[in-house]
Amino acid sequence: MLNQRQILGSLGTLGIMLGIASGVRANQISIHPAKSTAQFRHIEQPLSLKIGVTAGGLTLIGLELWWFLSSKKPAKTR
């Protein structure tokens, strides 16, 4: 059976791997210049990139919540 430390390590590793994979994928996408004089232009991101970034973010948020809730020590009673 996995203990809490192994679960935390696995979730952290998964979050980091998803973040790295999303960054690599974002760099591989070719951007075709649009004929526009606007300072910013819309770039459509692939669905897999959106899902990867969302999953990585949710994993990291879950890890932070788990760490915060599990690190509290019980209050001393007098």
Given a cut of 60, whether residue 72 has pLDDT beyond it is yes
CB 18 within 8 A of CB 55: yes
CB 11 within 8 A of CB 59: yes
Higher pLDDT, 20 or 65: 65
Task: Locate all alpha helices (DSSP H) within the chain, ordered by sequence.
Answer: 4-28, 47-70
Higher pLDDT, 2 or 13: 13
Write the pLDDT tens digit of every residue in 8-56: 788 888 888 877 776 665 555 555 555 556 687 888 889 999 999 999 9
User: What confidence score (pLDDT) does residue 35 get?
Assistant: 57
Q: Output the pTM of the full model.
A: 0.44
Question: How many CB atoms are located within 10 Å of the residue 31 CB?
Answer: 7
